[in-house]
């Protein structure tokens, strides 16, 4: 008995070894795979002309997109953006590779009619979704490159009054397409109190007009995350300052804007929200921005697109309730397909019949034409025959006349010869007598 007991008593260590299956390692697998593949992120800047979009995007990721732009203590004028410009940079940090696509867009508001100024931007965003949908729907699909727009920084002019009608309209055109993060441009033109007041006005306008901007997720478990998100929520819309000028402040080289009363430093959190914005995009919320793009905006696009396709084909599947049994749905689709095939068959038969009729008509026309030509030729031949007979008759007549005349002539010659012959005989007799 004690022998059996000894056999079944296992140590705690052994127990732990037996109960360890290995799925606790799953996060590591996911992590390793993600790191190996790298990350892709696309950020777009949109807003009125001259608000500093190109300047900000140039320095946002500490990579100079506009390399031809020279940095010096004196302010440099960024060339005006005239078309949507994509710049892709590959950055690596701690073995993690990030392929970053920054999309600079031309500013709007310069022309008289701005009623459709969002169209090129919306079309551009849609084109990226379209490409992704096509890549994803291919038969042989591998890893789908993700060039969808994950975040759009919307630049609000620092006018102090709030959103203009054009900004409201523009954001409404975009809010179901991408994550809008509103930023107040050229925040150095405000005092800190004015910034706080203007932020409130802008947020109120956003709420009053039902504009859906990017919402930071609620961190249910992590209190630290929740506090950080709360801070970010309070910072929105981010007041930013952009500059391509390197200045020296306290023996340190910084990006900033020089004023007679001091320097507005781009990366100083006391001066503006530039670093908060950059941290939000890169450090804390990049994956959430990507998730919302994929799960909400891309899904919206996909559903609308597929709904359009099915309504264009007039398919009966439109009438199917989403909860319907897939087999029943398949049956309906099959019937619909058969109906479509029958319709196509009928149409093809109709077309064939028309074509045959046309061909027969053509042959009939050719036959008529040939008959007409045959009759004309017969008539010509008959005429020629008649002419030939007439010529022959004339020839016979002429020949007969000739023969008669020839006959007459011969008779005349003969009679003349007969008359001349006796006279000659007499003459010969006379000459013979003379010789004798
Ligand atoms: N005061 C101030 N000026 C800025 C700031 N950012 C950019 N600027 C200046 O604003 C001007 C326009 O900057 P850009 O970056 O070309 O503006 P943009 O929005 O790209 O203009 P478009 O390409 O025409 O749409 C330049 O002279 C910049 O130096 C800022 O934060 N504060
Ligand atoms: Mg520009």
Position 378 confidence tier, pLDDT thresholds 50, 70, 90: very high
Report if residue 1 sits inside a domain: no
Shared-domain flag, residues 273 and 405: no
Split at pLDDT 50, 70, 90, the class of 377 is very high
Q: How confident is the model at residue 1 (pLDDT cuts 50, 70, 90)?
A: very low
Closest CA to ligand 1's atom 30 = 186
Task: Choose one of 50, 53, 105 to mutate for the ligand 1 pocket test, by most ligand atoms within 8 angstroms of C-beta.
Answer: 50
Q: Is residue 13 part of a domain?
A: no
Residue scoring higher pLDDT (126 or 30): 126
Please list, residue by residue across 168-205, b when 16 or more beta carbons sit within 10 angstroms of its beta carbon and e when fewer do.
Answer: bbbbebbbebbbbbbbbbbbbbbeeeebeebbeebbeb
Q: What pLDDT, on a 0 to 100 scale, did the predictor assign at position 211? A: 92
d(CA 247, CA 269) in angstroms, rounded, equals 17
Single out the residue in 259, 281, 312 at which a domain terminates.
312
Taking the centre of ligand 1 as the mean of its atom positions, its distance from the CA of residue 105, in whole angstroms, is: 13
Do 256 and 133 belong to one domain?
yes
Nearest residue by C-alpha to atom 12 in ligand 1: 50
pLDDT at 5: 44
Lowest mean pLDDT among 69-83, 299-313, 339-353: 69-83
Ligand 1, atom 13: nearest CA belongs to which residue? 52
State if residue 266 touches ligand 1 by the CB under 6 angstroms criterion: no
Query: Would residue 318 count as lying in a domain?
Result: no
Strands 180-184, 238-239: pairing is parallel
- Checking if the pLDDT of 420 tops 80, the result is yes
Q: Ligand 1 test: best mutation among 51, 260, 272, most atoms within 8 Å of CB?
A: 51
Residue 68 in this model has a pLDDT that exceeds 60: no
Average confidence (pLDDT) over 1-11: 48
Mean pLDDT of 243-270: 83
Task: Name the band, by pLDDT with cuts 50, 70 and 90, for residue 422.
Answer: confident
Of 96, 233, 214, 238, residue with least CA distance to 155: 238
For the CA of 48, the closest atom of ligand 1 is 25
Q: What is the mean pLDDT of residues 169-192?
A: 92
| Mean pLDDT calculated for residue range 206-218 | 89
Q: Is 128 in the pocket of ligand 1 (CB under 6 A)?
A: no
Q: With contact defined as beta carbons under 8 Å apart, do 157 and 190 qualify?
A: no
Same domain, residue pair 341 and 258 = no
Structure confidence at residue 3 as a pLDDT band (50, 70, 90): very low
Pairing of strands 151-156, 180-184: parallel
Name which residue leads in pLDDT, 327 or 186. 186
- For ligand 1, whether the C-beta of 206 sits within 6 Å is no
Residues 354 and 393 in one domain: yes
Roughly what angle, to the nearest 10 degrees, separates helices 119-137 and 165-174?
10
Mean pLDDT, the chain, integer: 82
Residue 273 Cβ inside 6 Å of ligand 1? The answer reads no
In a domain, 3, yes or no: no
CA 194 → CA 187, 189, 260, distances in Å?
A: 9, 9, 20
Going from the C-alpha of 372 to that of each of 24, 85, 238, 369, 386, the distances in angstroms are 96, 72, 90, 5, 21
Q: Is 258 exposed, middle or buried (0-12, 13-18, 19+ CB in 10 A)?
A: middle
Q: What is the pLDDT of residue 32?
A: 76
* 219 CA to centre of ligand 1 in angstroms: 36
Could you give the 3-state DSSP secondary structure of residue 311? helix
**In this structure, are 281 and 352 located in the same domain?**
no
Give the range of the structural domain holding residue 183, as residue numbers without chain letter: 30-312
Give yes or no: residues 38 and 65 share one domain: yes
323: in domain = no
In a domain, 52, yes or no: yes
Arithmetic mean of pLDDT, 234-260: 85
And the tokens for 256?
């900033």
What pLDDT is stored for residue 20 in this prediction?
67
What pLDDT was estimated at residue 89? 84
170 and 110 housed in the same domain: yes
CA of 241 to the centre of ligand 1 (A): 9
Six token digits for residue 92: 């690596």
**pLDDT tier, 390 (very low <50, low <70, confident <90, very high otherwise):** very high
Residues 371 and 256 in one domain: no
In this structure, are 425 and 340 located in the same domain? yes
In a domain, 78, yes or no: yes
95 and 54 within one domain:
yes
Q: Are residues 424 and 360 in the same domain?
A: yes
pLDDT greater than 50 at residue 255: yes
The structural domain count of the chain equals 2
Residue 305's pLDDT band (boundaries 50, 70, 90)?
A: confident
Residue 203, in any domain of the structure: yes
Q: What is the pLDDT of residue 71?
A: 46
CA angle 392, 395, 400 (to 5 degrees): 125
Give the pLDDT mean for 113-131: 86
| pLDDT computed for residue 9 by the predictor | 54
Q: What is the pLDDT of residue 4?
A: 45
**HSE-up of 80 (CA within 13 Å, CB side)?**
7
The rounded distance, in Å, linking the Cα atoms of 62 and 253 is: 14
| 203 & 243 share domain | yes
Among the candidates 312, 344, 369, a domain finishes at 312
Is the minimum distance from the CB of 53 to ligand 1 under 6 angstroms?
yes
Q: Name, in order, each residue with C-beta under 8 angstroms of 340's C-beta and a sequence gap of 6 or more.
A: none
Parallel/antiparallel/unpaired status of strands 252-259 and 262-265: antiparallel
Closest by Cα among 194, 215, 255 to 52 = 255
Q: What pLDDT sits at residue 426?
A: 66
Given this model, what pLDDT does residue 25 score?
Answer: 73
Decide which of 277, 312, 347 is a domain's last residue.
312
Range with the poorest average pLDDT among 244-258, 336-350, 374-388, 398-412: 244-258
14 confidence band (pLDDT: 50, 70, 90): low
Ligand nearest to the CA of 107: 1
β-partners of residue 253 are 248
Q: If you take atom 29 of ligand 1, which residue's CA is the nearest one?
A: 77
- The percentage of residues in the chain with a pLDDT greater than 70, rounded to a whole number, is 80
CATH number of the domain that residue 216 is part of: 3.40.50.300
- Which tops the pLDDT comparison, 95 or 356? 356
Quickly state the pLDDT bin for 26 (edges 50, 70, 90): confident
pLDDT band at 312 (very low <50, low <70, confident <90, very high): low
Question: Looking at the CA of 106, which ligand is closest?
Answer: 1
The whole-number pLDDT of residue 106 equals 87
78 CA to centre of ligand 1 in angstroms: 7
Of the ligands numbered here, which is closest to the C-alpha atom of 243?
Answer: 1
Give 211 or 424, the one with higher predicted confidence: 211
213 pLDDT higher than 90:
yes
Q: If you measure from the C-alpha of residue 226 to the centroid of ligand 1, how many angstroms do you get, rounded to a whole number?
A: 34
Res 123: pLDDT:
93
């Amino acid at each position: 008995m004690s022998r059996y007991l000894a056999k079944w008593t296992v140590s705690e260590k052994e127990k732990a070894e037996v109960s360890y299956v290995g799925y606790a390692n799953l996060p590591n697998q996911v992590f390793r795979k993600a790191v190996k593949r790298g990350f892709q992120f696309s950020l777009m800047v949109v807003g009125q002309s001259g608000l500093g979009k190109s300047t900000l995007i140039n320095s946002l990721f500490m990579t100079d997109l506009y390399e031809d732009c020279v940095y010096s203590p004196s302010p440099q004028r960024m060339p005006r953006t005239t078309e949507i410009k994509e710049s892709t940079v590959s950055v690596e940090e701690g073995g993690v590779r990030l392929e970053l696509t920054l999309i600079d867009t031309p500013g709007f508001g310069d022309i008289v009619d701005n009623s459709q100024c969002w169209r090129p931007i919306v079309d551009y965003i849609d084109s990226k979704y379209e490409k992704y949908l096509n890549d994803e729907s291919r038969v042989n699909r591998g890893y789908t490159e993700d060039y969808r727009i994950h975040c759009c920084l919307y630049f609000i002019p620092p006018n102090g009054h709030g959103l203009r009608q054009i900004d409201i309209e523009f954001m409404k055109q975009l809010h179901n397409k991408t994550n809008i993060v509103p930023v107040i441009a050229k925040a150095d033109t405000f005092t800190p109190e004015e910034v706080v007041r203007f932020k409130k006005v802008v947020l109120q306008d956003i709420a009053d007009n039902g504009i859906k901007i990017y919402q930071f997720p609620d961190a249910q478990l992590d209190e630290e995350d929740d506090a950080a998100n709360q801070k970010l929520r309070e910072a929105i819309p981010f007041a930013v300052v952009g500059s391509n000028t390197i200045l020296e402040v306290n023996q340190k080289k910084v990006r900033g804007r020089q004023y007679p009363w001091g320097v507005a430093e781009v990366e100083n959190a006391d001066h503006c929200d530039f670093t908060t914005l950059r941290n939000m995009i890169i450090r804390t919320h990049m994956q959430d921005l990507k998730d919302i793009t994929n799960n909400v905006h891309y899904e919206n696009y996909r559903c609308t697109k597929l709904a359009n396709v099915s309504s264009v084909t007039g398919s009966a599947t439109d009438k199917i309730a989403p909860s319907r049994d897939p087999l029943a749905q398949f049956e309906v689709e099959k019937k619909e397909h058969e109906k479509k095939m029958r319709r196509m068959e009928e149409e093809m038969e109709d077309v064939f019949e028309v074509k045959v009729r046309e061909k027969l008509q053509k042959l009939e026309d050719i036959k008529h034409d040939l008959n007409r030509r045959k009759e004309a030729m017969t008539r010509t031949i008959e005429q020629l025959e008649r002419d030939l007979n007439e010529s022959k008759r004339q020839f016979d007549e002429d020949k007969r006349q000739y023969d008669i005349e020839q006959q007459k002539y011969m008779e005349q010659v003969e009679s003349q010869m007969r008359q001349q012959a006796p006279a000659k005989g007499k003459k010969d007799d006379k000459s013979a007598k003379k010789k004798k």
